[in-house]
Structures are given as C-alpha cells and as structure tokens.
Structure 1
Amino acid sequence: MSDLVSIIMPSYNTAKFIGDSIESVLNQTYTNWELIIVDDCSTDDTDKIVNNFKDSRIKYLKNKKNLGAALTRNKALREAGGTWIAFLDSDDIWLPKKLEHQLNFMKRNGYNLSFTDYEKIDEKSKPMNIYVSGPHKVNRSKIYKYDYIGQLTVMYNAKVFGTIQIKDIRKNNDYAILLKLFRRPNTYAYRLKENLARYRIRRASISHDKFIKKLKSHYDLFHICDGRSVITSVFYTCRNMFYGVLKKILYEKRG
C-alpha cells in the first residue's frame, strides 16, 4: 500500500506503559500505518493489555524464547511491509501529529531519513522539563561521534534502505540500526524542528546504566556490531563519551 508506515515496537515486561504507547499510535492523525509489536517472552500482563486493543492494523507477535532486544527488533523489521519505517518503544509516546507532520516533511523535501525533537517524561508520564533537539543535519561522520537521533523519532524510506538487520548485542541496538542506515553512501538524516514525541526515563532502563557498563556496551556496538578493530572501537567509544557530554550542553534544554 502506498505510503504505508510500519511502526516497529519491541516489548518486554512493559505492561505498565505499553497501553499508552499503543494509544498514541491509534491517536495519530495519519492513519495509513501498521503497528508491529514483537514481545520477547514477557512475564507480566503485556498479553492482556495488547489484546484489549481491537484494530486490524495492530500485529502482535511473540517470540518462542527470549531473544533480546536486537533480535526482536530484527524480527519486527522482517515483518514490515510499509514504504516507511518508524520506531516506537513500548514505553514511549508519540504526539498525535507525529506521523503526519514527519511524512509530509520528508515527501516535501525528498528526504529518505529524518528525525524530530522530543521531550523526556518520568515513569508516571510527568514532564521532566527536558527538551531534546539536535543538529539540523546528521551525516555518517557525525553519527559515529554520537547518537544525536532519538530512536522514537526516526523515520526512513524502506525502499531506499531495504530490510535492516543488526547483530545480536544486548544494548545500543537502536544505535546499531542507525549505523547500519548510514553505511549507505551519501546518507543524511534531516531534523524536523518540532517536538513530536515523549521519551520515558525509567529507573531500570539502560539509560541509567553505570559508567563502566556504558563503556562496555558502546565498545560492543563498534566492535561486534560494526566490525571495527579493538583499537578503533576503543577510540570510537572514548570519543562517543566526549560528544555525549557535548550533546547535553548543546541540544538538551531544561526548564
């Protein structure tokens, strides 16, 4: 179907939040979408919550065994049939005009990859008064310095990039997808300067890992997933930490 947007939503034990995430998709002003939820053997009430939604555009799949976030994303991406791919984790939220405005932005300008601004919320969906923007344009060099793009705001043209699949790494699999996209020559991601999403900060999330674990996960990203040498992976990891601090200074506004 022309301009069908496939929304990729991996889930694992997010029964507390996934209902709000699904509702934010159902509330989109752009209606030509399919929501592909792949559950990675949740042990909570995720099944019950998802099954409450009766909409033929929602496809709910379950892994037979726990595969981890990377392989779960891969499975959802293989199921996608849309011209456009978008991502929404099962604890994050979109604003109603997210798909409409972003797709119009891309088609109007002939862009194949884009992202938007967003803000952070806490576990109770309360605003944390942190607004995240980004560079006007991200190229291959910039994405290797740091992940300036919020995964919940990414949209790309699947006809141009094909079916993206990444290696099995436990963390940073969203970043790994971006690195894979930027392997295509002359790839640029363009920023739509509009706040269209809510990124949830959870106490148990990867975002709150200890510093050493963060270093290890970034090293694995570059070494295992991107196939870089040990020395190059160490260099990229250290550089990534520096630009992470710079990103907070330049592109995160409080208050």
Structure 2
Amino acid sequence: MKDLVSIITPSYNSAEFIEETIQSVLSQTYQNWEWLITDDLSKDNTVEILKKYNDPRIKLHVLEKNGGAGNARNKSLERAEGRYIAFLDSDDYWHPDYLQTMTNYMQDHHVELVYCNYSRCNEQLQPVLKDFIADRIVTFSNLLKTCRLAPVSTMYDTKRVGKFLFPVKSKREDHVMWLNLLKEIPEGHPVPQTLAKYRMRENSVSRKKKNIIMDQYLVYKDFMGFSTLKSLYYTANWAMNGFMKYSKIFN
C-alpha cells in the first residue's frame, strides 16, 4: 500500500478561493492522503464551505483564538499521521499528479526533501510571472541567501527526518523552518516539473518586500544566532535575490 501523505493547510478568510484548492486535492491521482486543515478563526464562511465536503480524509479543526499561519500549521502537524508532509495554503492549487510525482521521486532517489517548479499566478490563477524553476540542489548554505522552498511546492519524509514545526514568533516562519530542517539533512532535491500554482494575492504580506526586511534580518539574528554583521550580509543577499525573483513579469 502507498504511504500516507499528510497535507497541512492553515485557513483564514479563504472563502473566495478555497473551493478551487479543495478540488485540486480531491483530483489527485495519489489518493492515500489525509488533509489536516486548521482554520484560524475565519470571519467569513470558509468553515461552512469546508464542512460541505463529506470526505473522512478531510480533517477540519477550528481554533478558538487567532494565532497566525505558523501556529495553525503546527496544530495540523501535531495531528499528522502520514509519512510524507506536504503543505498547501488555502488559496493555492496543485496539478492532479503533484502528490504522485513528488512521492515517486523521493522513493526512487531515496531523498528526504523535494521541491518542484510552480506557476506564479494572479487571483484568477493566470500566470503573471515566469514559472519559478526548481533547478538546483538546496542546502542550508545556499538557502541562507534566498528561500527557494515554498510550501505549495515542497514535501519531506518524516520517516527519515521527523517533524519540523514553525516558529510562531517569526513572520518569516517558512524560511526558518526550512533552514532548521536543512541543518539536519545534507540537501533537498529539485523535481523539474511544474506541478503547482501559487496565487499572488494583492494583499499578500509576502509580496510587500519593503515591509519585511527587518523580519528577514531577525531570521538570521534571532533564529540562526548570527552576528549583526553576518545577519546584515545575508539580509542584503536575500533582498537582492528577492528582487530578481519577482522582476520578470509577463506583459
């Protein structure tokens, strides 16, 4: 029997987009999954939409207090029973062969962490930037300068590495978690196929680069324990690479 995949999703006020996300999971060719959705006290009808789907693999938990995406992901991770951990935010989208392709690669190549290409789309899931390409092996060292790993396109094997939680006191919790994981393993491997769509919403915090320079600095200073000078060096590298990452816009 195929190994169980635990899909980790935080949801918050996602009613406008979440049905597309749900359909992308239900359409997966790899069907041995559990979907742990932790709703962060949505104020819209996100929870009502999720409750319409009568599938025992969809496991919804609604928090009593809003705690942020990192905390919501952690609540799902704590309940996850699968060998493989996959992340899907409540407004993103997977191609039908995402889970099958990613698990096949890990099993065939005996690796702990994989990531793939993904389309960078507007709110209607139409591409607005060139696809992000998974084109190199990721290590702790090169991940310090730019975060090539996105939740929508990355999977890891808990049998080989265990579970990794997100720091709830960082607004750059994804980057900190990936760095902590790559302290424990030599590398993550690219799967050079476009298997996911990342929805770039107008109000997305992750797109407001000028507002998160300090948050990124704290990734190095507080969470990695680097000196001030070393933290500034990596922050500058991250900012430059981030500019390049989002500069090639269609049209």
Contact 1:223–1:230 (Cα < 8 Å) also in 2: yes
Q: Which residue of 2 is the match for residue 37 of structure 1?
A: 37
Partner secondary structure for residue 145 of structure 1: coil
Contact 1:120–1:129 (Cα < 8 Å) also in 2: yes
Contact 2:105–2:191 (Cα < 8 Å) also in 1: yes
CA distance in 2, matches of 1:223, 1:44: 37
Identify which of 218, 223, 233 aligns with 2:231. Answer: 233
1:28: how far off? 0.1
Q: Which residue of 1 is the match for residue 206 of structure 2?
A: 207
Contact 1:2–1:83 (Cα < 8 Å) also in 2: no
Correspondence 1:107-146 to 2 at 5 A: 107-128=107-128, 130-146=130-146
Identity in percent: 35
CA distance in 2, matches of 1:208, 1:153: 17
Partner secondary structure for residue 47 of structure 1: helix
Cα separation, partners in 2 of 1:54 and 1:104, compared to 1, 3 Å: same
CA distance in 2, matches of 1:126, 1:90: 17
TM-score of the two chains, using structure 1 as the length reference: 0.91
1:216 equivalent in alignment to 2:225: no
Contact 1:135–1:148 (Cα < 8 Å) also in 2: no
1:221: how far off? 2.2
1:248: how far off? 5.2
Q: Which residue of 1 is the match for residue 196 of structure 2?
A: 197
CA distance in 1, matches of 2:243, 2:234: 14
Contact 1:125–1:200 (Cα < 8 Å) also in 2: yes
Partner secondary structure for residue 99 of structure 1: helix
1:73: how far off? 1.4
CA distance in 1, matches of 2:115, 2:35: 19
Cα separation, partners in 2 of 1:54 and 1:226, compared to 1, 3 Å: farther
Q: Which residue of 2 is the match for residue 21 of structure 1?
A: 21
Q: Deviations over 1:82-103 (max 9, x none)?
A: 0000000000000000001111
CA distance in 1, matches of 2:151, 2:18: 17
Partner secondary structure for residue 138 of structure 1: coil
* Aligned residue pair count: 251
Contact 1:39–1:61 (Cα < 8 Å) also in 2: yes
CA distance in 2, matches of 1:247, 1:125: 19
Q: Which amino acid aligns with 1:243?
A: N
CA distance in 2, matches of 1:238, 1:180: 21
Correspondence 1:79-94 to 2 at 5 A: 79-94=79-94
Cα separation, partners in 2 of 1:22 and 1:134, compared to 1, 3 Å: same
TM-score of the two chains, using structure 2 as the length reference: 0.93
1:63: how far off? 1.2
Identify which of 230, 243, 246 aligns with 1:245. Answer: 243
Cα separation, partners in 2 of 1:29 and 1:109, compared to 1, 3 Å: same
Q: CA RMSD in A?
A: 1.9
CA distance in 1, matches of 2:147, 2:24: 25
1:64 equivalent in alignment to 2:64: yes
1:129: how far off? 5.1
Q: Which amino acid aligns with 1:204?
A: N
Q: Deviations over 1:221-252 (max 9, x none)?
A: 22333333433322221121123234457xx6
Q: Which residue of 2 is the match for residue 95 of structure 1?
A: 95
Q: Deviations over 1:53-84 (max 9, x none)?
A: 11000010011101111111111111111000
Contact 1:132–1:253 (Cα < 8 Å) also in 2: no
CA distance in 1, matches of 2:226, 2:40: 29
Q: Which runs of 5+ in 1 are unaligned?
A: none
Greater shift, 23-32 or 177-186, is seen at: 177-186
CA distance in 1, matches of 2:244, 2:199: 21
Contact 1:34–1:57 (Cα < 8 Å) also in 2: yes
